[in-house]
């Protein structure tokens, strides 16, 4: 069969198999890149509560954590650009948030409930415009030995009273 | 009153779209032209109806009728009028109306101009566009009505409803929430509409593709008819992405231009499939190959457009962790699912009709390189899609939410992007059909040899970064090959027609606009890559707290902090503005005014940089803090961004190239011209047989 095809297509046969190899190589490269990049760049996305219960095991890897900003705790040293504040545990589950009356409600309830777990955060950089009381902070960084979460990246969302389905967001980092 | 007019007009538009879709499908299936004609009239009616509704919303926004929930949520008294108008697309409900308005306009445009020529396909184009329109209008009418009002119940609770619920009184806030300060930017006028224009115009080629599948006209007619639509859609989508990057650089991202945010990726994904489509349709037109592939690409593009519309507005994925779901989310997924499955089953039905007319040639033939180009675009799409859905998948399978950030996208996409750039360097020199490395090598060796000059000399001048040198090499090669192509073509014309070089160049481009427009786009990409190399590899930053008269140095720049003032403005801001003098290599090059505006109504600050921008670099200063007493000390964050302006210049060249490629042809339509040519060759073939 190969003989017939070869004489039919002539040089094209070699070209075709080379082509298939090319296609295969690209597809393999894409899969390889996706798999390895996922492994090296994956970050656990935790709530404050989960972060605290993870304890030691959370120390050595990049983690994403989200919580409600407690306004009174915001301290900013404009000289060193050290920004410190505390975030309060909010549930991660969409349905749970929905049942509780939306994101704005959940954030509000979290900061007014002293029994919710809290964690202190340190971020070095310009003070983000959207940082304020009851904003939702999504931080990327590592848990320090002293129990302070050191964030390299800080994403903030401020759900407004009317358009709760469109939290405004801006990335800083 | 105005609200009632707008609302009923919206409802009528919905009914007209629904009727149009049903009547067109019925008429086309049963061969009843009267129904088709009636459907067409219904379609033509949708645009004026949605226009009335959109104008009503704009009227309400500008006049500040805050009982309307939408108006109260996106505007406020202190906003300038132009921003009140743009608030039409500032929130969910309004932007859906805006989307529908564009859809109605494009459907009508497709239906008016070529109705008699494409009689076969157009009924189904009406069906597809009107189904899409009816979906969006249905969302607005039933779920996200922009005309819904605020009411107060006797218990003092706020409710939102179209009609007055029993026992409530109208609630009329004295002022609205207003647009978030971060969105109060001229970018708001142009960035969202261009993106939407791009999104919506892609529906038209999709509609023609579906029409071709339904009617069995599976030749490349649909591709030729929609060539310009596709280019125009792609033009606006590209422009929207570039403008978004620029806006981010100016205000939102503090010197960033692209952050791999899921919302950004949502807009990028249809662009990726669209770009792959633009390349691979050329193979279909030239060689009659990749037909199924092209249908798949346009189906994907459509699905991603709807998905992107949904995401850019709702932000469901970026905030998956904590986000109150709006009622329309599941409906969107349902719609995408249904249209996607329906399109694919049509494709499977016509699978055999879409057989290739030719075999792929050798590995360095033009069609093979286009195929690789498509695979790489699909690879980037796969990376993006995986990154966006990975949190959902990981939660589903492990119960633990794991996300991936910008490092994932950068790591996985960079090699694929470099692969695309290499193809961009080689492909213009390749030919269709049987060819060999030798043939390609003969065309390539001169530009290849020359291309090593740039990295060589920049290494001599002290550039040691390998990534940058590799980048310089690739973009020099693309530039040389592309210019060589222009040169070669123009020389050939001069020889053949005795034209002077500029005339030959002009005629060469205007006679083969898609090809040479495409090359101009490639040159735009080259410039953009140069800008990206500059900011990604050579960006430096520093920060410092200065008292008046003190200085801060970064690379060749020194800035001196002169003074700080604070004042209130008419539109409800408190502005803190610093004056800094900038010196470059010790020479005074002017003053910058970084500032921080505090919006009283939303209690939110906004940081506005001071930027000195030249072709060589940007010096970018942010005012990040100051001492409240005496205003003597202030803290600055400073960036030095070399070459970044090439990103924007490249964007401009990119858009110009697309305009060259999309510019309407003079004389007869390409479709007809080609049909004639084909008929002529068919005749001569028959003649030959005789």
Place of tokens 């919710």: A116
Structural domain boundaries, residue A24: 2-41
Q: A164 and A142 in one domain?
A: yes
Q: From A50, which residue of chain B is nearest by alpha-carbon distance? A: B400
Find the mean pLDDT for residues A153-162: 64
Query: What phi and psi, each to the nearest 5 degrees, are found at residue A67?
Result: -165, 175
Classified as helix, coil or strand, B258 is coil
Do B635 and A79 make contact, defined as CB atoms within 8 angstroms? Answer: yes
Quickly list DSSP for B592-627: E--EEEEETTTTEEEEE-EEEE-SSEEEEEEEEEE-
B653 has pLDDT over 90? yes
The residue with greater pLDDT, B608 or B273, is: B273
Query: What phi and psi, each to the nearest 5 degrees, are found at residue A74?
Result: -70, 120
B672 has pLDDT over 90? no
Do B322 and A19 make contact, defined as CB atoms within 8 angstroms? Answer: no
Nearest to A66 among B177, B321, B376 (CB): B321
**What is the distance between the alpha carbons of residues B361 and B436, in angstroms, rounded to a whole number?**
10
> B244, B324, B375: best mutation site toward chain A, by most A Cβ within 10 Å?
B324
Residue B685: pLDDT band (50, 70, 90) is very low
**What is the distance between the alpha carbons of residues B139 and B145, in angstroms, rounded to a whole number?**
8
Q: A150 and A94 in one domain?
A: yes
Answer for the pair B263, B388: CB distance below 8 angstroms, yes or no.
no
**What is the distance between the alpha carbons of residues A144 and A141, in angstroms, rounded to a whole number?**
9
> For residue A33, what are its two tokens?
């890149």
Which residues 6+ apart lie within 8 Å of B322 measured at CB? Answer: A66, A90, A91, A92, A94, A97, A103, A106, A136
Q: From A47, which residue of chain B is nearest by alpha-carbon distance? A: B321
**What is the distance between the alpha carbons of residues B146 and B142, in angstroms, rounded to a whole number?**
10
**What is the distance between the alpha carbons of residues B417 and B258, in angstroms, rounded to a whole number?**
15
**Contacts B359 to A, Cβ<8 Å:** 9, 12, 16
**What is the distance between the alpha carbons of residues B441 and B551, in angstroms, rounded to a whole number?**
56
**What is the distance between the alpha carbons of residues B52 and B55, in angstroms, rounded to a whole number?**
5
Nearest to A132 among B409, B603, B624 (CB): B603
Q: At what angle do helices B2-29 and B122-138 cross, to 10 degrees?
A: 150
- DSSP letter, residue B325: P
Neighbours of A72 (CB within 10 A): 9
β-partners of residue A140 are A64, A153
- What count of CB pairs under 8 Å joins A to B? 206
Answer for the pair B581, B560: CB distance below 8 angstroms, yes or no.
yes
Q: At what angle do helices A11-41 and B406-426 cross, to 10 degrees?
A: 160
Residue A9: pLDDT band (50, 70, 90) is very low
B632 has pLDDT over 80? no
Check residue B7 and give its pLDDT.
Answer: 94
Q: What would the pLDDT profile of B130-139 be if each residue is shown by its tens digit?
A: 999 999 999 9
Query: What phi and psi, each to the nearest 5 degrees, are found at residue B47?
Result: -65, -50
Answer for the pair B277, B381: CB distance below 8 angstroms, yes or no.
no
Query: What phi and psi, each to the nearest 5 degrees, are found at residue B432?
Result: -75, 150
Q: What is the largest CA-CA distance in chain B?
A: 99
Which segments of B418-513 are extended strands (E)?
A: none
Answer for the pair B460, B389: CB distance below 8 angstroms, yes or no.
no
**Contacts B183 to A, Cβ<8 Å:** 168
**Contacts A106 to B, Cβ<8 Å:** 322
**What is the distance between the alpha carbons of residues B185 and B249, in angstroms, rounded to a whole number?**
12
The torsion of the CA quartet B524, B525, B526, B530, rounded to 10 degrees, works out to 100
Do A33 and B379 make contact, defined as CB atoms within 8 angstroms? Answer: yes
Q: A76 and A24 in one domain?
A: no
Nearest to B411 among A41, A45, A94 (CB): A41
- Give how many domains chain A has, as a whole number: 2
Min Cα–Cα distance to chain A from B258, Å = 10
**Contacts B325 to A, Cβ<8 Å:** 94, 98, 165
Check residue B683 and give its pLDDT.
Answer: 47
Residue B666: pLDDT band (50, 70, 90) is low
Answer for the pair B244, B198: CB distance below 8 angstroms, yes or no.
no
Do B92 and A163 make contact, defined as CB atoms within 8 angstroms? Answer: yes
**Contacts B149 to A, Cβ<8 Å:** none
Do B322 and A45 make contact, defined as CB atoms within 8 angstroms? Answer: no
Nearest to A26 among B323, B372, B413 (CB): B372
Q: From A42, which residue of chain B is nearest by alpha-carbon distance? A: B404
**What is the distance between the alpha carbons of residues B312 and B268, in angstroms, rounded to a whole number?**
11
Neighbours of B512 (CB within 10 A): 14
Do B405 and A97 make contact, defined as CB atoms within 8 angstroms? Answer: no
Q: What would the pLDDT profile of B357-409 be if each residue is shown by its tens digit?
A: 887 778 888 888 999 999 999 999 999 999 988 888 887 887 777 888 888 99
Q: A68 and A23 in one domain?
A: no
Min Cα–Cα distance to chain A from B31, Å = 44
Q: What would the pLDDT profile of B160-200 be if each residue is shown by its tens digit?
A: 888 888 888 888 888 887 777 777 778 878 888 999 999 99
**Contacts A163 to B, Cβ<8 Å:** 73-74, 91-92, 177
The residue with greater pLDDT, B365 or A59, is: B365
A168 has pLDDT over 60? no
Q: What would the pLDDT profile of B407-420 be if each residue is shown by its tens digit?
A: 899 999 999 999 99
Find the mean pLDDT for residues B337-360: 90
**What is the distance between the alpha carbons of residues B10 and B8, in angstroms, rounded to a whole number?**
5
Highest mean pLDDT among B27-31, B98-102, B513-517 belongs to B98-102
> A78, A87, A161, A164: best mutation site toward chain B, by most B Cβ within 10 Å?
A78
Helix (H) or strand (E) holding B22: helix B2-29
> Beta strands B633-642 and B617-626: pairing type?
antiparallel
Compute the radius of gyration of chain B from its Cα atoms: 28
Answer for the pair B485, B612: CB distance below 8 angstroms, yes or no.
no
Pinpoint the alpha helices (H) of B202-290: 203-215, 221-225, 227-247, 262-287
**What is the distance between the alpha carbons of residues B14 and B27, in angstroms, rounded to a whole number?**
20
Share of chain A above pLDDT 90, in %: 19
Helix (H) or strand (E) holding B485: helix B466-497
Do B605 and A129 make contact, defined as CB atoms within 8 angstroms? Answer: yes
Nearest partner of B368 among B439, B292, B427, judged by Cα: B427
Do B359 and A126 make contact, defined as CB atoms within 8 angstroms? Answer: no
Q: A79 and A19 in one domain?
A: no
Do A132 and B379 make contact, defined as CB atoms within 8 angstroms? Answer: no
Min Cα–Cα distance to chain A from B563, Å = 17
> For residue B189, what are its two tokens?
């006028």
A4 has pLDDT over 50? no
Q: A7 and A70 in one domain?
A: no
> For residue B631, what are its two tokens?
């205003």
> Beta strands A168-172 and B169-170: pairing type?
unpaired
Query: What phi and psi, each to the nearest 5 degrees, are found at residue A133?
Result: -55, 135
Compute the radius of gyration of chain A from its Cα atoms: 25
Q: From A31, which residue of chain B is nearest by alpha-carbon distance? A: B379
Secondary-structure breakdown of chain B: helix, strand, coil percentages, each rounded to the nearest 5 = 65, 15, 25
The CA distances from residue B151 to B146, B174, B301, in Å, are 15, 14, 41
Quickly list DSSP for B398-437: HSS-EEE-HHHHHHHHHHHHHHHHHHHHHGGG--SSS--H
CATH number for the domain spanning A128: value is 2.40.50.140
Query: What phi and psi, each to the nearest 5 degrees, are found at residue B561?
Result: -80, 115
Do A170 and B386 make contact, defined as CB atoms within 8 angstroms? Answer: no
B678 has pLDDT over 70? no
* Range of weakest confidence among B50-59, B347-356, B435-444, B555-564: B435-444
Q: A65 and A48 in one domain?
A: yes
Q: A61 and A11 in one domain?
A: no
Check residue A55 and give its pLDDT.
Answer: 65
Q: From A64, which residue of chain B is nearest by alpha-carbon distance? A: B403
Q: A72 and A100 in one domain?
A: yes
> B145, B276, B322, B416: best mutation site toward chain A, by most A Cβ within 10 Å?
B322
**Contacts B322 to A, Cβ<8 Å:** 66, 90-92, 94, 97, 103, 106, 136
Check residue B394 and give its pLDDT.
Answer: 84
Classified as helix, coil or strand, B206 is helix
Work out the angle at residue B600's Cα, subtended by the Cα atoms of residues B596 and B604, and round it to the nearest 5 degrees: 55
The CA distances from residue A48 to A75, A118, A138, B41, in Å, are 20, 7, 11, 58
The CA distances from residue A3 to A9, A13, B362, B559, in Å, are 10, 11, 19, 76
Q: A165 and A87 in one domain?
A: yes
Do A165 and B326 make contact, defined as CB atoms within 8 angstroms? Answer: yes
Q: Give first-to-last CA distance, chain A, whole Å.
A: 62
Do A64 and B403 make contact, defined as CB atoms within 8 angstroms? Answer: yes
Q: A94 and A163 in one domain?
A: yes
Q: A97 and A68 in one domain?
A: yes
> For residue B81, what are its two tokens?
């009028």
Min Cα–Cα distance to chain B from A145, Å = 23
Do B386 and A34 make contact, defined as CB atoms within 8 angstroms? Answer: yes
Check residue A80 and give its pLDDT.
Answer: 80
- Predicted-complex ipTM score: 0.83
- DSSP letter, residue B249: I
Min Cα–Cα distance to chain A from B216, Å = 30
Min Cα–Cα distance to chain A from B419, Å = 10
Q: What would the pLDDT profile of B441-481 be if each residue is shown by its tens digit?
A: 888 888 999 999 999 999 998 888 999 999 999 999 999 99
The CA distances from residue B574 to B187, B336, B355, B604, in Å, are 22, 46, 66, 10
**Contacts B379 to A, Cβ<8 Å:** 26-27, 29-30, 33
A2 has pLDDT over 70? no
Q: What would the pLDDT profile of B207-258 be if each residue is shown by its tens digit?
A: 999 999 999 888 888 888 888 889 999 999 999 999 989 988 887 656 688 8
C-alpha count within 13 angstroms, C-beta hemisphere, residue A161: 10
Answer for the pair B248, B257: CB distance below 8 angstroms, yes or no.
yes
Q: At what angle do helices B513-538 and B501-511 cross, to 10 degrees?
A: 100
> A6, A15, A96: best mutation site toward chain B, by most B Cβ within 10 Å?
A15
């Amino acid at each position: 069969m190969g003989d017939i095809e070869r004489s039919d297509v002539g040089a094209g046969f070699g070209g075709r198999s080379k082509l298939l190899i090319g296609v295969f190589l690209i597809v393999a490269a894409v899969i390889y890149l996706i798999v390895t990049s996922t492994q090296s760049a994956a970050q656990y996305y935790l709530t404050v509560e989960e972060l605290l219960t993870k304890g030691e095991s959370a120390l050595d890897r990049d983690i994403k954590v989200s919580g409600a900003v407690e306004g009174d705790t915001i301290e900013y040293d404009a000289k060193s650009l050290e920004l410190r504040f505390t975030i309060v545990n909010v549930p991660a589950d969409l349905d749970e948030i929905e049942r509780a009356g939306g994101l704005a409600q959940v954030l509000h309830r979290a900061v007014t409930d002293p029994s919710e777990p809290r964690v202190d955060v340190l971020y070095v950089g310009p003070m983000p415009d959207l940082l304020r009381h009851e904003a939702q902070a999504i931080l990327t960084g590592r848990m320090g030995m002293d129990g302070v979460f050191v964030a390299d990246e800080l994403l903030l969302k401020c759900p407004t009273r009317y358009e709760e389905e469109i939290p405004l967001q801006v990335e800083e980092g | 009153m105005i609200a009632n007019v707008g609302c009923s007009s919206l409802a009528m538009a919905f009914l007209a779209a629904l009727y149009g879709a049903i009547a067109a499908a019925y008429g086309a299936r049963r061969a009843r032209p009267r129904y088709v004609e009636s459907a067409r009239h219904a379609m033509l009616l949708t645009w004026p109806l949605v226009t009335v509704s959109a104008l009503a919303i704009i009227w309400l926004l500008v006049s500040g009728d805050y009982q309307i929930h939408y108006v109260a949520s996106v505007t406020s008294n202190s906003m300038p009028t132009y921003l009140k108008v743009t608030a039409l697309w500032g929130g969910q409900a309004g932007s859906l109306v805006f989307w529908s308005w564009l859809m109605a306009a494009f459907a009508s445009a497709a239906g008016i101009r070529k109705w008699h020529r494409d009689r076969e396909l157009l009924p189904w184009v009406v069906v597809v566009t009107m189904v899409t329109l009816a979906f969006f209008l249905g969302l607005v009418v039933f779920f996200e009505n922009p005309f819904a009002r605020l009411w107060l119940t006797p218990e003092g609770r706020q409710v939102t409803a179209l009609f007055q619920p029993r026992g409530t009184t109208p609630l009329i806030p004295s002022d609205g929430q207003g647009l978030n300060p971060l969105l109060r930017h001229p970018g708001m006028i142009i960035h969202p509409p261009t993106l939407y224009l791009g999104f919506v115009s892609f529906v038209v080629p999709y509609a023609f593709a579906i029409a071709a599948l339904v009617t069995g006209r599976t030749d490349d007619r649909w591709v030729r008819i929609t060539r310009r639509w596709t280019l125009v859609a792609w033009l606006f989508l590209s422009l929207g992405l570039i403008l978004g990057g620029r806006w981010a650089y100016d205000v939102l991202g503090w010197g960033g231009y692209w952050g791999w945010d899921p919302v950004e990726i949502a807009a990028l994904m249809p662009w990726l499939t669209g770009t792959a489509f633009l390349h691979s349709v050329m193979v279909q037109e030239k060689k009659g190959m990749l037909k199924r592939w092209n249908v798949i690409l346009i189906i994907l593009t459509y699905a991603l457009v709807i998905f992107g519309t949904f995401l850019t507005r709702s932000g469901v994925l970026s905030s998956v962790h904590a986000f109150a779901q709006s009622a329309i989310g599941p409906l969107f997924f349902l719609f995408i699912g249904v249209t996607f499955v329906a399109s694919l089953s049509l494709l499977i039905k016509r699978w055999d009709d879409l057989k290739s007319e030719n075999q792929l040639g050798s590995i360095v033939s033009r069609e093979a390189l286009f195929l690789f180009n498509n695979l790489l675009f699909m690879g980037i799409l796969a990376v993006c899609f995986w990154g966006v859905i990975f949190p959902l998948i990981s939660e589903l399978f492990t119960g633990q939410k794991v996300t991936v950030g910008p490092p994932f996208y950068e790591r996985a996409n960079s090699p694929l992007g470099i692969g695309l750039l290499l193809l961009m360097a080689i492909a213009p020199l390749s030919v269709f059909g049987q060819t060999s490395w030798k043939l390609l090598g003969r065309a390539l060796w001169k530009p290849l040899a020359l291309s090593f000059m740039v990295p060589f000399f920049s290494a001599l001048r002290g550039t040691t970064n390998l990534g940058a040198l590799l980048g310089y090499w690739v973009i020099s090669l693309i530039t040389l090959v592309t210019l060589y192509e222009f040169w070669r073509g123009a020389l050939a014309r001069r020889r053949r027609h005795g034209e002077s070089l500029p005339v030959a160049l002009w005629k060469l481009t205007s006679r083969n606009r898609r090809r040479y427009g495409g090359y101009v786009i490639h040159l735009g990409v080259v410039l953009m890559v140069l800008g990206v190399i500059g900011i990604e590899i050579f960006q430096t930053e520093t920060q410092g707290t200065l008292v008046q008269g003190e200085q801060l140095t970064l690379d060749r720049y020194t800035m001196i902090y002169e003074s700080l003032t604070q004042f209130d403005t008419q539109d409800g801001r408190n502005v803190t503005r610093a004056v800094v003098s900038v010196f470059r290599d010790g020479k005074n090059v002017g003053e910058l005014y970084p500032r921080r505006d505090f919006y009283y109504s939303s209690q939110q600050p906004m940081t506005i940089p001071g930027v000195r921008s030249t072709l060589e670099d940007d010096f970018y200063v942010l005012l990040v803090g100051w001492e409240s007493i005496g205003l003597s000390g202030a803290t600055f964050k400073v960036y030095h961004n070399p070459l970044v302006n090439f990103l924007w210049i490249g964007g401009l060249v990119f858009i110009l190239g697309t305009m060259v490629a999309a510019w309407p042809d003079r004389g007869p339509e390409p479709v007809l011209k080609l049909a004639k040519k084909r008929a002529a060759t068919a005749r001569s073939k028959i003649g030959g047989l005789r």
